[in-house]
């Protein structure tokens, strides 16, 4: 099935990391960042900690085949509009909104992975005093970082001066390493508490 973005570009599905070689560490278990966050959000929801879900992406179906009377196969579809960020919800009475990205790079995070409409959305959330950030995973290092949205916006806007990526050293400096645990897998709300609800 061909799914396309509003600009006509083909959608490329993320790599299924569960099919990678055995060189993965047991702690990673072949899980994608999205799967880890979904599991974490299910943990939060089941314990009444927060209500956070992945945003559905509206799709316009344009071609369907009916090989059998009881089955339909979607052959072509388009995303109706650019997505904003990956996740949103409510935590401690506040709107929470964040993007999750992975990179195989070891020393930097490519800014081409972030899009202008996502940056504009983050600015709007920040303007309303919402909780807004990005979770970045360096897959080859199995490291996950929490980066406040205002830092991401600042790095993104430096592209005009030639910046193409965020050095990992800057992410370490301005962000926070999220220790990966068994359950919840990526306890990002522990970091949210440090930034937004210091005791």
- Least confident interval from 4-8, 15-19, 129-133, 180-184: 15-19
- Domain spans, the chain: 21-56+82-196
pLDDT tens digit string along 42-90? 999 999 999 999 987 666 667 778 777 677 777 776 655 566 888 999 9
Q: Output phi, psi for 60, to 5 deg.
A: -100, 115
81 token code pair? 């509009």
List b or e across 102-114, with b for residues whose CB sees 16 or more CB atoms inside 10 angstroms: bbeeeebbebeeb
pTM value is 0.74
The label of the residue with tokens 């937004």 reads 196
SS3 readout for the chain? CEEECCCCCECCCCCCHHHCCCCCCCCCCCCCHHHHHHHHHHHHHHCCCCEEEECCCCEEEEEEEEEECCEEEEEEEEECCCCCCCEEEEECCEEEEEEEEEECCCCEEEHHHCCHHHHHHHHHHHHCCCEEEEEEEECCCCEEEEEEHHHHHHHHHHHHHCCCEEEHHHHHHHCEECCECCCCCECHHHHHHHHHCCC
Could you give the angle at which helices 149-157 and 116-127 cross, rounded to 10 degrees?
140
Q: How confident is the model at residue 29 (pLDDT cuts 50, 70, 90)?
A: very low
CA distance linking residue 31 with residue 16, whole number of Å: 8
CATH topology of domain 21-56+82-196: Trna Endonuclease; Chain: A, domain 1 (3.40.1350)
Each residue's pLDDT tens digit, 132-178: 999 999 999 999 999 999 999 999 999 888 889 999 999 999 999 99
**Relative orientation angle of helices 33-46 and 188-196, to the nearest 10 degrees:** 70
Q: Are 121 and 115 in contact (CB under 8 A)?
A: no
């Amino acid at each position: 099935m061909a799914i396309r973005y509003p600009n006509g570009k083909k959608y490329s599905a993320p790599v299924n990391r569960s099919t990678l070689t055995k060189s993965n560490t047991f702690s990673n278990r072949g899980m994608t960042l999205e799967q880890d966050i979904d599991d974490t959000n299910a943990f939060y929801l089941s314990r009444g900690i927060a209500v956070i879900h992945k945003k559905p992406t509206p799709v316009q179906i344009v071609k369907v085949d009916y090989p059998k009377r009881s089955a339909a196969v979607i052959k072509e579809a388009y995303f109706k509009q650019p997505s904003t960020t990956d996740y949103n919800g409510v935590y401690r009475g506040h709107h929470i909104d964040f993007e999750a990205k992975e990179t195989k790079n070891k020393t930097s995070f490519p800014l081409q992975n972030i899009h202008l409409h996502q940056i504009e959305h983050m600015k709007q959330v920040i303007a309303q005093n919402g909780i807004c950030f990005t979770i970045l995973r360096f897959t080859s290092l199995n490291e996950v970082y929490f980066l406040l949205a205002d830092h991401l916006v600042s790095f993104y806007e430096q592209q005009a001066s030639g910046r193409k990526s965020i050095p990992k050293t800057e992410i370490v400096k301005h962000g926070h390493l999220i220790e990966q645990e068994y359950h919840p897998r990526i306890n990002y709300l522990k970091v949210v508490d440090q930034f937004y609800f210091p005791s």
